[in-house]
Amino acid sequence: MTIHRSMSQRKDVPKCRPFFEMIDLKEDKLPQARPPKQFAPDPVAKTWTVPELCEAYGWPKGLEGGGVIGILAMGGGYQPSDLEAYFEGIGQPMPEVKNIVINGVGNRPNQPVSEDFDPDVEIALDIEVAASAYYVATGQPAKIRVYWTDMDLRSMAPAIQKAAADGCSVLSISWGAPENAWEWLFWKFGQNVAVQLEATLIRAAALGMTVFAAAGDREANAGEAQKTVNLPAACPHAVACAGTSKTRDKEVVWNNDPGKINGIGTGGGYSSLFFPQAWARGAPVGIGRMVPDVAGNADKNTGYRIFVHGSERVTGGTSAVAPLYAGLFAAFAKKSNGFVNPILWANRDCFQDITEGNNDGYVATIGPDPCSGLGVLIAHELANLFTTQDAPAPYKA
């Protein structure tokens, strides 16, 4: 059973204010989930196609597959012609993509919020990375289900619940908000939305769905005045995905602005809402659950080549890591193990430790740490772990 801190005992409501001022929310307006902002890569960046990155991470081949990939979308949209151009460009067949509208307007491309906040880039990234990663592992076109909601944080749980009920084996979530935004909903409306979200994740895991969530792109402060982490990544029943900067010969913690608080780089740290988890053996002790669990390439300067708005574009962020892992785990079988965090933490030899870099709050060390977690996947080792006859049984919460 996951233990939650009681928000009713917290007395630091004023600390919520910097977040809402930063994103222009009035007190009578609801906090909204956001994907990371998109930033142009350095012109001399060495970037990756997804098949190239999969090869570098030791991707398995010829897996059984059959898992359905769910993607949570809280705004934006995609053009089928962009997807067709992307998959033709990397020599893969088109995935099967279906749209399920939970609330909001559904697939509605070409509605950018601002120059550096275009949700269409996020949607293209999620679909293209997850589907192409799956194909590399299986040789089969992926089945993608996009679950559309509005940006209200309370919309996440119903979408997660629907994806699990539909039989998705994995769900990729690239959206989120700092923990104090979720606390604000409790103080404003008496709804403990963070606890409700974790309860939904527990039920989804019981149905065999594994959820991968981006840890965020604003370093250890998550864009706030103090260290914090993002939900849903900090929920114990989500696999929290952090970011690295991966070149052809080196991989370090992703941090584009060393020494700059609230710069661009991977999120990570300790939850103030969820206690440390017993299965996270070896994690440095902090006030709460350590985030992240895993890491992968996220730096825009070593980013992912995608196709959106009629042309190729390079992007990244921890929101690229979540669909990358989702594509791999969907390749294992029709049903995943659901709650995999205890299995991952018990099999640290399936990860390459990241020992260099920091997120301006925490420093990478030998072993797990709050900026790279267990490290980056050794994909064929994870495949062996989850697909052999001796594969671990689903972990019971």
* Alpha carbon distance 20, 173 (integer Å): 22
Specify whether 126 is catalytic.
yes
Q: What are the pLDDT tens digits along the chain (397 aa)?
A: 333 333 333 333 222 222 233 333 345 566 777 666 555 555 555 899 999 999 999 999 999 999 999 999 999 999 999 999 999 999 999 999 999 999 999 999 998 666 667 899 999 999 999 999 999 999 999 999 999 999 999 999 999 999 999 999 999 999 999 998 898 888 888 889 999 999 999 999 999 999 999 999 999 998 888 999 999 999 999 999 999 999 999 999 999 999 887 799 999 999 999 999 999 999 999 999 999 999 999 999 999 999 999 999 999 999 999 999 999 999 998 766 899 999 999 999 999 999 999 999 999 999 999 999 999 999 999 999 999 856 666 666 5
Tell me whether residue 382 is in a domain: yes
Known binding positions for Ca(2+): 353-354, 367, 369
Query: Contact 38/117 with Cβ under 8 angstroms?
Result: yes
Tell me whether residue 257 is in a domain: yes
Tell me whether residue 205 is in a domain: yes
The residue annotated as part of the active site, out of 82, 122, 183, 293, is 122
Please give the pLDDT value at position 115: 61
How many separate domains does the chain show? 1
Tell me whether residue 307 is in a domain: yes
Tell me whether residue 32 is in a domain: no
Tell me whether residue 37 is in a domain: no
Query: Contact 111/123 with Cβ under 8 angstroms?
Result: no
Please give the pLDDT value at position 392: 66
CATH number at residue 146: 3.40.50.200
Q: 369: buried, middle or exposed (CB in 10 Å: 19+, 13-18, 0-12)? A: buried
pTM of the model: 0.90
Tell me whether residue 124 is in a domain: yes
Tell me whether residue 73 is in a domain: yes
Query: Contact 273/198 with Cβ under 8 angstroms?
Result: no
The residue annotated as part of the active site, out of 172, 245, 319, 336, is 319
Query: Contact 230/179 with Cβ under 8 angstroms?
Result: yes
Domain span at residue 255?
47-387
Specify whether 349 is catalytic.
no
Give alpha helix (H) positions in the chain: 17-22, 50-56, 80-89, 119-138, 156-165, 179-189, 193-206, 318-330, 341-345, 379-387
Specify whether 251 is catalytic.
no
Number of H helices, E strands in the chain: 10, 16
Q: 356: buried, middle or exposed (CB in 10 Å: 19+, 13-18, 0-12)? A: middle
Known binding positions: 353-354, 367, 369
The residue annotated as part of the active site, out of 118, 126, 128, 360, is 126
In angstroms, the Cα distances linking 86 to 31, 90, 147, 249 are 34, 7, 21, 27
Q: Centre a 10 Å sphere on the Cβ of residue 286 and count the other Cβ atoms it contains.
A: 16
**Residue 179 in tokens:** 């923990």
